[in-house]
């Protein structure tokens, strides 16, 4: 079965640079979620989109922005990168036709390292 695709899988950036992370949800999934996971920590919600509209926002820095496109893929744009942004970034997708089960399927993640 098709899974969530994320690219790139690894990214190394310097402080103050920008980064763009991409997420391709499972086909026919209409909702995308972004999570950030630091070493030894649980995933923290950043932002979500349903049918290309922002549906919820968590503890996402103002330096970050995201959007969902007409083909349902999503991009997370990160500017003025800081050392503390180094983490695993996961995208998850779900379908609201899943009868309210909110089954979120996670991608393999993008490991961002800021030097």
Partner 1 sequence: QQQVKQSPQSLIVQKGGISIINCAYENTAFDYFPWYQQFPGKGPALLIAIRPDVSEKKEGRFTISFNKSAKQFSLHIMDSQPGDSATYFCAASYSWGKLQFGAGTQVVVTP
Minimum CB separation from partner 1 for residue 43, in Å? Answer: 6
Question: Which of 14, 28, 2, 34 has its CA nearest to residue 110?
Answer: 34
> Could you tell me where the DSSP H helices lie in the chain?
none
Dist CA 9 CA 110 (whole Å): 4
Question: Which of 70, 56, 99, 78 has its CA nearest to residue 11?
Answer: 78
CB nearer to partner 1: pick between 52 and 79: 52
Neighbours of 12 (CB within 10 A): 13
Size of the site for partner 1 (CB under 8 A): 30
The residue within the footprint of partner 1, chosen from 42, 70, 83, 84 (CB under 8 A), is 42
Residues from 48 through 77 that contact partner 1 (CB under 8 A): 48, 50, 55-56, 58
* Site pattern 10..29 for partner 1 (x: CB under 8 A): --------------------
Q: Are strands 110-114 and 10-13 parallel, antiparallel or unpaired?
A: parallel
CB nearer to partner 1: pick between 3 and 27: 3
Minimum CB separation from partner 1 for residue 36, in Å? Answer: 12
Q: Can you say whether the dihedral through the CA atoms of 81, 83, 84, 89 is positive or negative?
A: positive
Binding interface with partner 1 (CB under 8 A): 4, 31, 33, 35, 41-45, 48, 50, 55-56, 58, 88, 90, 92, 94, 96, 100-109, 111
């Amino acid at each position: 079965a098709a899974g969530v695709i994320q690219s790139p899988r690894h990214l190394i950036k310097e402080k103050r640079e920008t980064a763009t992370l991409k997420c391709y949800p499972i086909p026919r999934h209409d909702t995308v979620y972004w999570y950030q996971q630091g070493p030894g920590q649980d995933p923290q919600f950043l932002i979500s989109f349903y049918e290309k509209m922002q549906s919820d926002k968590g503890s996402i820095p103002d330096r970050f922005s995201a959007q969902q496109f007409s083909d349902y893929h999503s991009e997370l744009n990160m500017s003025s990168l800081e050392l503390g942004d180094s983490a695993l970034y996961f995208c998850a997708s779900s379908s609201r036709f899943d009868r309210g089960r909110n089954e979120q399927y996670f991608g393999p993640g993008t490991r961002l390292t800021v030097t």
